[in-house]
Amino acid sequence: MNETKLLYNPPTVTGIFMHQARRFGDRTLSLTKRAGKWEPITWRQSLESLPVRVMGLFALGFQKGDTVGIASRTRKEWSETDLSILTAGGVTIGLYPTASLWEMTHVVAHSGLRICFVEDEALLDKLLAVQARTGLPKKMILFETSRTSHPPGVITLSTFLAQGRCAHEADPARFETAWRAVRPSDLATIAYTSGTTGPPKGVMITQANLYFTAINATKMHRYEETDFGIAFLPLTHMLQRMSVYAALHLGIIGAYAEGIDKLVENFQELHPTVQVSVPQIFERIYNRIHQRMASASPRQRRIFQWALAVGLAAARYRQENRSLPPFLAVKYSIAHRLVFRKIHDVFGGRVKYLLCGGAPMPMYLLGFFNAVGLLILEGYGLTETVAPAAVNRAEHFKFGTVGQLIPGMEAKVDPDGELLLRGQGLFQGYYKDPEATAAAIDAEGWFHTGDIAVIDNEGFITITDRKKDLIVTAGGKNIAPQNIENLIRTLPLISHVMVCGDRQKYLTALLTLNEQELLNFAKRENIAATGSADLAADQKVRQAVSDHVKDVNNRLAPYEQVKRFTILPDDFTEESGELTPTLKLRRHEIIKRYGNKIESLYNE
């Protein structure tokens, strides 16, 4: 196992921050939009406010090792609070704002949460309902509020900071003693999994896990201190949180997006150079581009298709690190000026490459964006590996794979095809669940990921499916549904696919449609738009989907082919409980909800 050279003392997230804050001083650390204007926060300002926040925790009765919650969307205050918890020696518990009351109650009770930072009144009401059931959390701090009075135990952020300032002035030495007492082996966060098959499990992650992963993951790419990125994914999820810690190490300026609905607007205002995202964002932008093309003139569509063909030809040379032939270089320059530059401008016009994780990226999206000159590099990781465990590099990538291991990690494939991981970023076990820990980490320290994978001779990892999602047909065939689902999803009209068939003679599928692409299709085919549910039942729509499924089936073995499918009137959503906060299918929930429809596919 590769060892990471110690760069900071102590080797903790706070150790990174304290070193870099003294180094960068009045340089901008982050940007947040207030009243229509992007306001900078400097490293010095953040360094000066940290003792106040840490001492504010102590003023609330916090003790080292206590769990402290954050229930908020991604914003500056989330990261500031997280850093203050880690600096005080506490354990951060992220609560998804969109989590159900049942799930939030489980996390609060299971983690023993006594203090929780809450974004606004809507989430406060949710936490008060949790408190009524569990007696926890005892104390809550509101980031923003319009109310003049609050229930006992609830204070505003300004009151919290005022208490912290008084405590720091009364005992200025305590802050230094507190952060110096934090050890790499100390528990830093309990990150609760999305719970695709049951109650969320608490993944125990130490300061050392965060430290080494932040440093090791950044070695896979060439970064400069002038680079810039925008945080918009949930900070409760380790992918976005690790990108914030990595930015501290690299000295990269970060901004907090106003929200998903304003993400493209923020891209165009701030011009990021490196950007972490998830497939859903690229799908939205892809659909937006093709929506515009659907209403463009025939000449514009011909130019677009010509440019795309040129881009695909040029991409093959770039991937092999070869120079473009002169004639192709001239055509590519014209294609960029006429078409590609406008697509680059959607992302702000300065992107060097885009990093993608959280879910498999459809091949058609990888190919399209690479053709227009926007390289998307897929990576792989789990909460248990503190997010990134493998990633493609700009200098060496293979589409369809999740790249090569980051330094400090090892991998092997079990005889049954399961990917096993071991290394510096590996979690310490599941909180209060020794049985689950023993089942996940074997005696040699290998973590059994539950993912089925192949590793090629260059170390590139291809994830083919989830082990526990494998379908065993009545004929005894083991089938990986995700591979089939990803192939079917290459049709932009299709949003989600869930393949079924466990202990059945053949495979079936539940399909949902992309609402925007469905409207585009209706416009192209002159179908009266009477609502997405009616359009989903339209014969032309069904025929287009059926033709695509037949085409996919022709590329599969007979036992892998989807014999029947049904198109659901509504898409799967996180709010309805069919998707996790990281947009993975909750298969058991979907089967429970649509069991009758699945059964009818076998009874017809």
Concatenated DSSP letters of 436-503: HHHHHB-TTS-EEEEEEEEE-TT--EEEEEEGGG-EE-TT--EE-HHHHHHHHTTSTTEEEEEEE-TT
d(CA 143, CA 146): 11
**Tokens (6 digits) for 294:** 């659907």
DSSP assignment string, 515-560:
HHHHHHHHHHTT-----HHHHHT-HHHHHHHHHHHHHHHTTS-GGG
State the pLDDT at residue 83: 98
What digits encode the pLDDT tens for the residues 489-520? 888 899 999 999 988 889 999 999 988 888 88
Two domains, one topology: 13-220 and 277-466: yes
* 470-603 topology per CATH: GMP Synthetase; Chain A, domain 3 (3.30.300)
Count how many Cα atoms sit within 13 Å of the Cα of residue 19 in the half-sphere of its side chain.
15
Q: Is the pLDDT of residue 197 over 70?
A: no
pLDDT tens digit sequence for 127-161: 999 999 999 999 999 999 988 899 999 999 999 99
The pLDDT of residue 3: 46
Under CATH, domain 13-220 is a member of which superfamily?
ANL, N-terminal domain (3.40.50.12780)
Q: For residue 111, which amino acid is it? A: S
Location of structure tokens 């609760």 = 192
CATH of domain 277-466: 3.40.50.12780
Q: Please, what is the Cα angle at 168 between 163 and 171, to 5 degrees?
A: 125
* CA-closest candidate to residue 12, choices 154, 172, 213: 213
* pLDDT tens-digit series, residues 85-108: 999 999 999 999 988 888 899 999
Kindly list the domain boundaries of the chain, sorted by start residue. Answer: 13-220, 277-466, 470-603
> Mean of the pLDDT values across residues 29-49?
97
What is the pLDDT averaged over residues 438-463?
Answer: 96
pTM for this predicted structure: 0.84
